[in-house]
Structure 1
Amino acid sequence: MVQTVRIEAAARERAGKGAARATRREGLVPAVIYGAKQEATLVSLDPRDVMKELQKGGWQSHLYEVALKGGETVRTVMRDVQFHPVTDRPLHVDFQRLAPGVRIRVRVPVHFLNEDTCPGIKEGGVLNVVRREIEVLANPDQVPDAFEIDLGEATIGDSLRWSAVKSNFGTRAVIERDFVVATVAPPTVIEEVEAPAPAAAAPPPAKGKGGKAAAPAAPAKKK
């Protein structure tokens, strides 16, 4: 199951753009915790903690315990991060508070097994990944680190669908059909087209006496 990450935060009192700018001037990242039919909680984060999580990848499927200094610890998922358009530094973070017994919507990465021994790939086929992540509804305590699809028997032309996932860990896909996750596509064949042979050049006219071209023969007169 996915691990829970603890992240330290400090409460902030004022909302609005001016208060958020003041928080950034202090070298912190403003954030909000919302959901579970409770009032929003305004907090500020150390930008190094935020960047550490973003650089890991898969932050949208991680669980976070936001620990308020001198206060409570809130179980959340990180829903959105706003970035500076030039520096790419985080400007604001949105956390969704987890409610007991309520499923959450998360994106789970897909891992492919036995790619090296896949018959279709060994024959020259190419693994075409349609979805590198699958969005599902999951129990917060049972969010998987990844879904796995076995390529051990996949041949050229096969489609690997949601039903091919080895275990869905009790999750339910947001898309309500057996959608395609990947295919084993046939190799691309580039046909070489031979250029047509150049047309033969017409023979030069025969030369008469003195090196001049001979005059064409006069048509025969009818008798």
Structure 2
Amino acid sequence: MAGEIPDLEAEVRTGTGKGAARQARRDGKTPGIVFGGDKEPLPINLDFNTLLTRLRAGRFKSTLFNLKVEGHEDVRVICRDVQRHVVKDLPTHVDLMRLKRTTKVNLFIHVEVEGEEVSPGLKKGGVLTLIRPEVELVVTAADIPQSITIDVSEMQIGDNLTISSVKLPEGAKPTIDRDFVIAQISAPSGLASQSDDEEEEDTAADEVPTTEMGPPDGE
């Protein structure tokens, strides 16, 4: 989740039941419901094309949205379910949950990099690869970071930076229970090719058979 929390615009859905939902779909809308947060459920309609675009972009269920509904205060929500047509696989209904300050949610948090200008590995021509430009964390709704920062200032060529070396916001933890790699500095392609050639030459030299001298003539 880089930068600001994205807006998700909706309108209040008048009427309830299957009839109102069918009418919404005929009008190019996808019906939905907003619940939780110690408030009454709010029936809404979302623009079908906008919703479909967001769904196809991925991670819709793990993205925090700022829900904007005319006549209501903006509220942070996260998707809890998307119902789809059994044949067409298109969205037919969306469940959104209002977040309390203490609610724990899984979100993808953007990774920022610092220390590139002094990294010895990069100064030698190494290439920084961000394996995970986003990291999925369990965070509290009241303390959602816009990003986490990794420091590559001491990394050499061949070094990996893992999640265990990153200072995470208080109360946040990775959803993956292992020490995974976030970034690495690799040798530049030219140097890597040269190293490969040298290894091949060394291997070829090692594989040259020695010629055994046979016994002298007459023995």
Normalising by the residue count of structure 1, what TM-score does the alignment of the two structures yield? 0.61
1:173 aligns with 2:174: yes
Following TM superposition, by how much is the alpha carbon of 1:160 offset from its aligned partner in structure 2, in angstroms?
A: 0.9
Residues 180-191 of structure 1 mapped to structure 2, 5 A cutoff: 180-187=181-188, 188-189=192-193, 191=197
Following TM superposition, by how much is the alpha carbon of 1:141 offset from its aligned partner in structure 2, in angstroms?
A: 1.6
Following TM superposition, by how much is the alpha carbon of 1:143 offset from its aligned partner in structure 2, in angstroms?
A: 0.6
CA contact (8 A) 1:31 1:95 kept: yes
Give the Cα–Cα distance (whole angstroms) in 2 for the partners of residues 135 and 5 of structure 1. Answer: 20
Residue 208 of structure 2 corresponds to which residue in structure 1? Answer: none
Give the Cα–Cα distance (whole angstroms) in 1 for the partners of residues 131 and 83 of structure 2. Answer: 27
Give the Cα–Cα distance (whole angstroms) in 1 for the partners of residues 11 and 51 of structure 2. Answer: 11
Residue 148 of structure 2 corresponds to which residue in structure 1? Answer: 147
Q: Highest CA radius of gyration, 1 or 2?
A: 1
Give the Cα–Cα distance (whole angstroms) in 1 for the partners of residues 157 and 84 of structure 2. Answer: 42
Residue 138 of structure 1 corresponds to which residue in structure 2? Answer: 139
The AA in structure 2 aligned to 1:180 is: V
Give the Cα–Cα distance (whole angstroms) in 2 for the partners of residues 4 and 118 of structure 1. Answer: 34
Give the Cα–Cα distance (whole angstroms) in 2 for the partners of residues 101 and 139 of structure 1. Answer: 6
Which residues of structure 2 form unaligned runs of 5+? 202-219
Normalising by the residue count of structure 2, what TM-score does the alignment of the two structures yield? 0.62
Distance 1:22 1:6, change over 3 A: closer
CA contact (8 A) 1:4 1:63 kept: yes
Higher share of residues assigned helix = 2
Q: Deviations over 1:127-157 (max 9, x none)?
A: 2332221111111121111111121221112
1:62 aligns with 2:64: yes
SS of the counterpart of 1:23? helix
Give the Cα–Cα distance (whole angstroms) in 2 for the partners of residues 141 and 164 of structure 1. Answer: 24
Following TM superposition, by how much is the alpha carbon of 1:12 offset from its aligned partner in structure 2, in angstroms?
A: 4.6
Q: Deviations over 1:88-110 (max 9, x none)?
A: x9765442232452211211111
Give the Cα–Cα distance (whole angstroms) in 1 for the partners of residues 134 and 170 of structure 2. Answer: 15
Residues 28-43 of structure 1 mapped to structure 2, 5 A cutoff: 28-34=29-35, 41-43=42-44
Give the Cα–Cα distance (whole angstroms) in 1 for the partners of residues 105 and 172 of structure 2. Answer: 10
Give the Cα–Cα distance (whole angstroms) in 2 for the partners of residues 133 and 78 of structure 1. Answer: 19
Give the Cα–Cα distance (whole angstroms) in 1 for the partners of residues 13 and 75 of structure 2. Answer: 12
Distance 1:46 1:148, change over 3 A: same
Following TM superposition, by how much is the alpha carbon of 1:158 offset from its aligned partner in structure 2, in angstroms?
A: 1.3
CA contact (8 A) 1:2 1:62 kept: no
CA contact (8 A) 2:66 2:74 kept: no
Following TM superposition, by how much is the alpha carbon of 1:45 offset from its aligned partner in structure 2, in angstroms?
A: 2.5
CA contact (8 A) 1:66 1:76 kept: no
Residue 23 of structure 1 corresponds to which residue in structure 2? Answer: 24
Give the Cα–Cα distance (whole angstroms) in 2 for the partners of residues 92 and 124 of structure 1. Answer: 51
Report % sequence identity: 33
